[in-house]
Structure 1
Amino acid sequence: MTDTLLPADLVDFLLFDWLELESLLSRPRFADHDRESVSALLGLADRIAREEFLPHYKTADQVEPRLTAEGDVEVLPQAGEALRAYAEAGFMAAPFATGHGGLGLPELVHMAATGSFFAANVTTAGYAMLTVGNARLLVHNASPAQIEAFVPKQLDGSAFGTMCLSEPQAGSSLADVRTRAVAEGQDELGARYRLTGNKMWISGGDQNISATIHHLVLAKIPDADGTLPEGTRGLSLFLVPKHLPGGERNDIAVAGLNHKMGYRGTSNCLLNFGEGTRFRPGGQAGAVGWLVGKPGQGLAIMFHMMNEARLGVGMGAASIAMRAQALSVEYARTRLQGRIDPAGAPVAIAAHADVARMLTRQRAIAEAALSIILFCARLVDDRDTAETPEARARADRLLGLLTPAAKTWTSEWGLEVNSIAIQIHGGYGYTRDFDVEQLYRDQRLNPIHEGTTGIQGLDFVGRKLLKEGGAGLEMLAERVARTLERAKGQGLAGEGQALSAAWDKFLAVREALPMLPRAHWMGVATEVLDGFGTTLAAWMLLDQALVAGSDERRILAQFFIASELPRAHRGFDLALGNPVPLLDFTGDAP
């Protein structure tokens, strides 16, 4: 088998040549790391991903989590073994400061290492992604006592973490959350509450591969009259462990498992908090939880993990696309079918122009997706460690602007890469004998995970461009301008002109948005976000071609700009033109 995880030479180029990782490693926070240690760590990630995660990828799809008669969830044992190897190698703790027992690894390196695990087995790696995000939220927002009680267990892998936001009746509308938290006094861990309510779509909500689970739960504290406050400002955040610090089981019950088309190895649960049928801590019904932060700050704090998870979903999407592309190349080089010379012998399908076109398109999209996520990871490091407050603030603004595109463009167009993989494999592609069928099903979940594409579009246009005025665009515009100037002298002037035209039209959309009726911009928000993501991808591939100076990277940039970039104009033109008429589907159901 060829290299079907993240190619080492590509990752090395993106990290060190394009994103200038060595300059990042010169900062005091990362002084313990150098190019040699980073390469060794990435090599270790690749090895563990291949040896521990990849072998049970198909098995995890076939042997789904099971809800026992006792109400517990059993998960494939190999997933637990892989995650123990992951934690023992230090990857769970890697991005944390040494003061918390971590390696103090730059987020850029941590994200690149995570990509290998996602490419090998996204369903098992998902448990680790959620745990790291949960622990990082606590480190930044919990009290010292809460951090001491809960974070070390997550970093050594004995506890996994979840995020409990959605509810059966609320979905993505968090203003409609009904889970309630009633104050029960103070203890050594802070303000203690009893929670009652239901949470839906909870990945890792229950399983038997970690000793316990730490849930982060959004809930509302009732007003004095017992009613729940309206809207998202009434949301507070609570840490609700499966087992209390003394070992007693908390009042959390699994009401059912959701069986998805992909990510089948990740348990996905409907959880009942405070049901009181099996476990009653202290003899009372109600799940015990501790307030994280202050009342009413729940959503603002939760965004710390939500935004991190959006980048994680994007990395998963890029990694799945990268693996699908590599498998497509491997198949196309070995599958003999058809002839170039009618009198000659059958040739590998990679020799046919249409297959070469599909392979090139796959690679351009997949590498652009990977580039967007790694670029955002570098912004995380700049936000946290840049030399001046202004530089940190600029990085934070740009990161906020790019996050909707990082999550959405990678997952939507990563899915296209996976679709092409099935096409290249032909009839074999949609059989279960080849991984590309499963990879497609796994990938299809990513446009929905952590906020659907439509929600990300509304966030990008309504919040990032309208409410915040496109904060961060000035930093991106400077980088795009430098690329366009360099392209003139390196034989890519035509590609630079095409990129410039798309960028200028996006800026025109930004200027026009405040004058557009609300119904108009809401109807085209997803199209605008897609156009922005496509323009962003084109800029990155062109910039990389200029940095590398190689024919291969030049071809990728030229192909993408000629084949994919014109699509960006479609979304921008829809925004700048007259409102597109829409049918009314609000009538009574048939």
Structure 2
Amino acid sequence: MTTSLRSTLDFLLYDWLQAESLTARERFTDHSRETFDAVLDTCERIAREKYAPFNRTVDVQEPHFDGEKVILPQCTYDARQAFADSGMLSAAQDYELGGMQLPYVVESAAGSFFGCASISIGSNLLTTGNANAILVHGTPMQQQVFAANEFNGRWAGTMCLSEPQAGSSLSDIATRAVPDVESAAAADGMVPWDQDALGPRYRLRGNKMWISSGDHELTENIVHLVLAKIPGPDGKLVPGVKGISLFIVPKKLVDIKGNLTGERNDVALAGLNHKLGWRGTTNTLLNFGEGKYPVRAEQGGGLDGHGAGAIGYLVGKPGEGLKCMFHMMNEARISIGMAATMLGLAGYYASLDYAKTRLQGRPIGEAGKDASAPQVRLIEHADVKRMLLAQKSYGEGALALNLYCARLVDEGRTGNAEAAAQARLLLEVLTPIAKSWPSEFCLEANSLAIQIHGGYGYTRDFPVEQYWRDNRLNMIHEGTHGIQAADLLGRKVVMQGGAGLKLLASTIGATIALARQRPELSAYADQLAQALHDVTAATQAAWSTGNANEALANAVPYMQAFGHMVLAWMWLDVAHSVLARDASLSIAANAGRLSAARYFFRYELPKIGAWLGVVATRDATCAAMAEDAF
């Protein structure tokens, strides 16, 4: 597994994305190809030793609650500790925060080893995203107390959005946050924190559902980022998303130096959700302010009136919770896209190994009619090659897309003003694709991996069924498929007068122009140009009436077509890079990349016509279906 993955990462990072050129920028001057490789080596080793051998263990030994705490297998503790000790939690952060100031694209590439080895163990992405959100929107003291202790591995972080009655509809959340008017002074100076330093203090009451890593004993504390509504003067919650604010709610209370006070905050585990996949990661229902862990009076608490509830500290301004949280959500969406990608590649590597060794059947034609002739390996059958090539094109194409998006993050942070602005705009458009396309098509890759294994693929004797189960969750993680599609067609491609879509079109156009200069790629360049034209035309046709219900009725087919166009662009750009460095295709891996590109253009890109057809005509077959007709 790791040899193939490392070879692919090296090509994409260095030959295609030119990651080494980032070392010329002030932020990365201490780095070189050698330091980047050292990070990749370390993560590859930890993934091989601490994650991969226990992927099945954590799937079978699911988390359970003994009434006091969550029980996890020892291998989860060991893997998490090894990851924290590696410094990867703060890999891209400033030196002052204990970070390495690595480019985000290198951090993403290094993190891919863990996703391939065991996504179920690798539940660290929310901690980093949580800390990053606090860095951007929190007060200096919040950054020092909470973010810094997440980056150094002492504490973990979560994202608490959904509620049992609301699901993905954040406008309907009902968790309340009221100012903690039982002030610190009321405790006669006994409160060991500065209320103003950690931010305005509130009391939260409500329930949050589907919280990944919501409770465990892997770290000494857990920092919850919680969306809640502050009631208006009349005591009522403001409807919609405008009334949503963001709060830091630690599992255990702390002082301004980051020390635990010994007091448990009123955040209670109400239950564990037992999911189809990602079984090694706790998924929880949390109750805030139910009184199971009442905060003592000397901690500024009490059980009556405004004193009841879990203590939380406001992040940013009241009513701007979604703005603050979206910083974390967008980062998490790219990470989920990478998780889906690595599961797809894990299945590909497993089925490729199986196809190379499993004897099954004989060739088609005269040579295969002799029953006494020896059987051939699965990989010698054309249809098995088709399934392997599909997986390769999905997985390696998705990896290219996610690393490209990570490279845009670096450009947005360290490029000149114009380049940074363009990178951020392009990333806005590509984020729904980076999350959702791998979640759908790398899941399909896992299905093909099962198919190649035949009956064995459905058993737990082989890992591919677990890869499929783990990957099936990613179409829901961090915004469902439908939500991402509505975001793409309803907002991203029309915002700023369509500036993002125009920028994407010009960027793709540059690749097309380069590819047309090579005879081997000119036909594919023309095909991509036509796909880009068709997507643009369908976008305009969908919105031609100005009716959002009509335009968005087929948002998912639009996203599928848009994603296929983007992946074709990735493969054309990769293919051009391959030929620029190895025109004779003397290296087998480069020949494989070109074959995957050829497959995508011949087998996959032609599919977009049917998807765009219903988008352009604003087909109402689904939307107009009467409920009783179902």
Q: TM-score, normalised by structure 2?
A: 0.90
Structure 1: distance between partners of 2:241 and 2:488: 19
What is the aligned counterpart of 1:267 among 250, 263, 282?
282
Alignment partner of 1:207: what SS?
Answer: coil
Contact 2:266 2:295 survives alignment (8 Å): yes
User: 1:183 maps to what in 2?
Assistant: 179
In 2, are the aligned partners of 1:5 and 1:46 still within 8 Å (CA)? Answer: no
Q: 1:77: Cα distance to partner?
A: 2.2
CA distance in 2 between counterparts of 1:478 and 1:581 reads 34
| Matching of residue 303 in structure 1 with residue 342 in structure 2 | no
Equivalence map 1:71-470=2 (5 Å): 72-126=69-123, 128-184=124-180, 185=183, 186-245=195-254, 246-282=261-297, 283-284=302-303, 285-340=308-363, 341-342=367-368, 343=370, 344-386=373-415, 388-470=416-498
Give the one of 474, 480, 503 matched to 2:532.
Answer: 503
Structure-2 change in CA distance of 1:586 and 1:96 (3 Å): farther
2:582 aligns with: none
Is 432-441 or 92-101 further displaced after alignment?
A: 92-101
Does the Cα contact within 8 Å between 1:215 and 1:241 map onto a contact in 2? yes
Could you say which residue in structure 2 is the equivalent of 1:538? 568
Report the more deviating stretch, 546-555 or 153-162.
546-555
**Residues 195-247 of structure 1, C-alpha deviation per residue, up to 9 Å, x if partnerless?**
00000000001011111100000001111121111110100000000011123
| CA gap 1:522/1:477 in 2 versus in 1, 3 angstroms | closer
Q: Which stretch shifts more, 140-149 or 283-292?
A: 283-292
CA deviations over 1:416-447 (Å, ceiling 9, x no partner): 00000000000000101111000000000001
Further displaced range: 456-465 or 493-502: 493-502
Please give the alpha-carbon distance, in whole angstroms, between the structure 1 residues aligned to 2:267 and 2:499: 42
Alpha-carbon offset, residue 352 of structure 1: 0.6
**C-alpha distance in 2, partners of 1:426/1:574?**
35
Task: Say if 1:506 and 1:281 are closer, same or farther in 2 by CA, change over 3 A.
Answer: farther
Normalization by structure 1: what TM-score? 0.96
Q: Please state how far the C-alpha of 1:6 moved relative to its aligned partner.
A: 6.2
- Cα distance in 2, alignment partners of residues 359 and 522 from structure 1: 34
> For residues 622 and 426 of structure 2, what CA distance do their matches in structure 1 show?
33
| Aligned equivalents of 1:257, 1:589: Cα separation in 2 | 37
SS in 2 for 1:146: helix
Contact residue 54 and residue 120 of structure 1 kept, 8 A: yes
How many residue pairs get aligned? The number is 585
Q: What is the root-mean-square deviation in Å for CA atoms of aligned residues?
A: 1.6
What secondary structure sits across from 1:515 in the alignment?
coil
Greater mean deviation of Cα atoms: 575-584 or 116-125: 575-584
Distance 1:297 1:589 in 2: 42
User: Matched residue of 1:114: which SS?
Assistant: helix
Q: 1:583 Cα shift?
A: 6.6
User: Do 1:237 and 1:298's aligned partners in 2 also have CA atoms closer than 8 Å?
Assistant: yes
How big is the shift at 1:413? 0.4
| Displacement after TM superposition at 1:486 (Å) | 2.5
Misfit runs of 4+, over 6 Å: none
- One-letter identity of the residue aligned with 1:397: L
The structural deviation recorded for 1:510 is 2.6
Distance 1:471 1:281, change over 3 A: farther
Q: Sort the Cα spacing of 1:264 and 1:585 in 2 relative to 1 into closer, same or farther, 3 A.
A: farther
Q: What residue number does 1:523 align with?
A: 553
Q: CA deviation at 1:307?
A: 0.4
Alignment CA distance shift 1:5-1:78 (3 Å)? farther
Query: How far, CA to CA, are the matches of 2:282 and 2:115 in structure 1?
Result: 16
State the distance in 2 between where 1:482 and 1:586 align. Answer: 46
Letter in structure 2 aligned against 1:355: V
Q: Is the 8 A contact 2:494 2:501 kept in 1?
A: no
Return the offset for 1:281.
4.2
CA contact (8 A) 1:464 1:471 kept: no
Cα distance in 2, alignment partners of residues 574 and 338 from structure 1:
42
Post-superposition Cα deviations, 1:174-200, rounded to whole Å, max 9, x if no partner, equal 111110111115443120011000000
Query: Residues of 1 paired with 2:550 and 2:492: CA distance?
Result: 17
Question: How far off is 1:26 after superposition?
Answer: 1.2
- Kindly state the Cα deviation for residue 278 of structure 1 after the two structures are TM-superposed: 3.4
1:547 aligned partner: 577
CA pair 450-414 structure 1, distance change in 2 beyond 3 A: same
- How far is 1:523 from its partner? 1.2
- Give structure 1 stretches of 5+ with no counterpart: none
Cα gap change, 1:209 to 1:402, in 2 (>3 Å): same
Larger radius of gyration between Structure 1 and Structure 2? 2
SS of 1:11's equivalent in the other structure is helix
Distance 2:246 2:4 in 1: 36
- Percent identity among equivalent residues? 47
Do the aligned partners of 1:5 and 1:119 also contact (CA within 8 Å) in 2?
A: no
8 Å contact kept, 2:543–2:551:
no
Cα deviation digits, residues 132-171 of structure 1 (max 9, x gap): 0011111111101111111222112121100000000111
Shift in CA distance, 85/456, structure 1 to aligned 2, threshold 3 Å: same
1:53-82, Cα deviation, whole Å (9 max, x unpaired): 111110101111101123x22222211111
